[in-house]
Amino acid sequence: MNGPHDLGGAMGFGPVDPHADDSALHADWERRALGLVLCAGAMGLWSLDASRHARERLHPGLYYRASYFEIWLRGLETLLIEHGIVTRAELDRGGAAGGDATPALRAADVAAALARGGPCDRPLDAAPRFRPGDRVRARNMHPRGHTRLPRYVRGAEGTVEAAHGGFVLPDSHAHGLGEAPEHLYTVVFDGAALWGADAEPGLRVSVDAWESYLDPA
């Protein structure tokens, strides 16, 4: 979907200022937020794609003011309410009225759960439509629901660099409509194809794109 989260290639937000020694977690509340998201996800009520979609549905005014882990927490609040785990009143009060206190993920099991991950590759009988070296065009699409096709590559031509086989389609999975696996490709775009003559010379951008995102160029 088009939303405040889709900032790739956007102008006007200032320079990116990375720090090699910057920690991913800056405060204790961020560690707690990460733990809450992991433990809630262990209930198995929503997918990773649904979790992403909950975050990208935040109001732009909130999204742009919030820090990274605040966005995670806000998205989690949305999921917990939508699945009937808590109410808005309970969140506002800061405590649940009751319910099962048994944790979905115990502390001793966290390392194994993270190591196991959630593989999304799936076997497909259909042959891939594209092969490495093929020229393709990213579809100029603007779905109301979730998609992983970045807005800044839509309509641009690129070259298939790799074919990865079948993977769960986020556009379907985020809405509980099934995995609907498709072939996944890495497509390389020249900077000039995305940003014209103002692009940095020699710039190339790689994007992982599902088959339904692409047409032959």
pLDDT tens for each residue of 138-180: 999 999 999 999 999 999 999 999 999 999 999 999 999 999 9
- 70-77's contacts with Cβ under 8 Å and 24+ in sequence apart are 70/33, 72/33, 72/34, 72/37, 73/33, 73/36, 73/37, 75/51, 76/36, 76/37, 76/40, 76/51
If you classify domain 135-216 with CATH, what class do you get? mainly beta
Domain with CATH 1.10.472.20 in the chain: 28-116
CATH code that applies to domain 28-116? 1.10.472.20
Average pLDDT, the chain: 91
Label residue 12 by pLDDT band (50, 70, 90). confident
Residue 114's pLDDT is 79
Domain with CATH 2.30.30.50 in the chain: 135-216
61-to-1, 4, 7, 27, 107 alpha-carbon distances in Å: 17, 9, 14, 24, 35
Label residue 101 by pLDDT band (50, 70, 90). low
Label residue 61 by pLDDT band (50, 70, 90). very high
Query: Position of tokens 């014209």?
Result: 196
The per-residue pLDDT for range 24-50, each reduced to its tens digit, is 788 899 999 988 898 899 889 999 999
pLDDT at 121 over 70: yes
Q: Is 12 exposed, middle or buried (0-12, 13-18, 19+ CB in 10 A)?
A: exposed
Residue 22's pLDDT is 67
